[in-house]
Copies of this chain bind each other. A is one copy, B any other.
Amino acid sequence: MADGQFTRPDGFDGLETPCLLLDADRLTANVATMRAGLDRLGVTLRPHLKTAKSLDVARIAMASPSGPATVSTLREAEHFAEGGVRDLIYAVGIAPQKLDRVGAIRRRWGADLAIVLDSIEQANAVVAWSRRTGDPMPVLIEVDADGHRSGVDPRDADTLVAIGRVLSDGASLRGVLLHAGDSYGLTEPAALKAAAEAERAAAVAAAAILRGAGLPCPVVSVGSTPTARYADNLDGITEVRAGVFMIGDLFQAGVGSCRIDEIALTVLTTVIGHQREKGWIITDAGWMALSRDRGTARQAVDQGYGIACDMAGQPYPDLIVRDANQEHGIVALRPGSSAPLPDLPIGARLRILPNHACATGAQHDRYHVVADGRLTGAVWPRINGW
Number of copies: 2
Whether B282 pairs with A72 at a CB distance below 8 angstroms is no
- Of A124, A289, A294, A346, which is in contact with the most chain B CB atoms at under 10 Å from its CB? A346
> Which of the four size classes fits the interface of chain A?
35 or more
Option from B95, B100, B121 in Cβ contact (under 8 Å) with A17: B95
Residues of B within 8 A of A326 (CB): 50, 72, 358
Please report the C-alpha to C-alpha distance between residue A181 and residue B323 in the assembled complex, in whole angstroms: 13
A284: interface (CB < 8 Å): yes
Binary B-proximity of A109-127 (CB < 8 A = 1, otherwise 0): 0000000011101101100
Whether B92 pairs with A327 at a CB distance below 8 angstroms is yes
Please report the C-alpha to C-alpha distance between residue A92 and residue B284 in the assembled complex, in whole angstroms: 8
Please report the C-alpha to C-alpha distance between residue A363 and residue B287 in the assembled complex, in whole angstroms: 12
Whether B99 pairs with A325 at a CB distance below 8 angstroms is no
Whether B72 pairs with A327 at a CB distance below 8 angstroms is yes
Whether B125 pairs with A272 at a CB distance below 8 angstroms is no
Option from B125, B274, B327 in Cβ contact (under 8 Å) with A73: B327
A232 to chain B, nearest CB (A): 26
Residues of B within 8 A of A294 (CB): 292
Known: A92-B327, A95-B272. 6 other contacts (CB 8 A): A1-B121, A1-B122, A119-B273, A125-B347, A292-B292, A365-B385
Chain A residues 355 to 381 lying within 8 A of chain B, measured CB to CB, are 356, 358-359, 362-365
Nearest residue (CB) in B for A92 is B327
Whether B150 pairs with A328 at a CB distance below 8 angstroms is yes
Q: List 25 A-B contacts (CB under 8 A).
A: A3-B96, A3-B128, A3-B129, A4-B96, A16-B74, A72-B327, A92-B284, A93-B272, A93-B284, A93-B328, A95-B272, A118-B273, A121-B345, A122-B346, A125-B347, A149-B325, A150-B282, A150-B328, A287-B293, A288-B358, A288-B359, A288-B362, A291-B292, A364-B385, A365-B385
Whether A274 pairs with B119 at a CB distance below 8 angstroms is yes
Please report the C-alpha to C-alpha distance between residue A364 and residue B384 in the assembled complex, in whole angstroms: 8
Residues of B within 8 A of A356 (CB): 292
Contacts A93-B273, A95-B284, A181-B325 given; indicate if A149 touches B330 (C-beta within 8 A): yes
A159 to chain B, nearest CB (A): 11
Whether B16 pairs with A101 at a CB distance below 8 angstroms is yes
A167 to chain B, nearest CB (A): 14
Contacts A95-B272, A292-B359 given; indicate if A346 touches B149 (C-beta within 8 A): no
A338: interface (CB < 8 Å): no
Residues of B within 8 A of A119 (CB): 273-274, 346
Nearest residue (CB) in B for A360 is B292
Whether B17 pairs with A327 at a CB distance below 8 angstroms is no
Please report the C-alpha to C-alpha distance between residue A13 and residue B117 in the assembled complex, in whole angstroms: 21
Nearest residue (CB) in B for A292 is B292
Whether B97 pairs with A347 at a CB distance below 8 angstroms is yes
Nearest residue (CB) in B for A269 is B95
Chain A residues 237 to 268 lying within 8 A of chain B, measured CB to CB, are none
- Of A74, A117, A358, A386, which is in contact with the most chain B CB atoms at under 10 Å from its CB? A386
Please report the C-alpha to C-alpha distance between residue A101 and residue B16 in the assembled complex, in whole angstroms: 10
A183 to chain B, nearest CB (A): 13
A39 to chain B, nearest CB (A): 27
Q: Lowest 4 A-B CB distances belong to which pairs?
A: A292-B292, A3-B96, A93-B272, A95-B270
Residues of B within 8 A of A1 (CB): 96, 121-122, 124-125
Nearest residue (CB) in B for A144 is B275
Nearest residue (CB) in B for A184 is B325
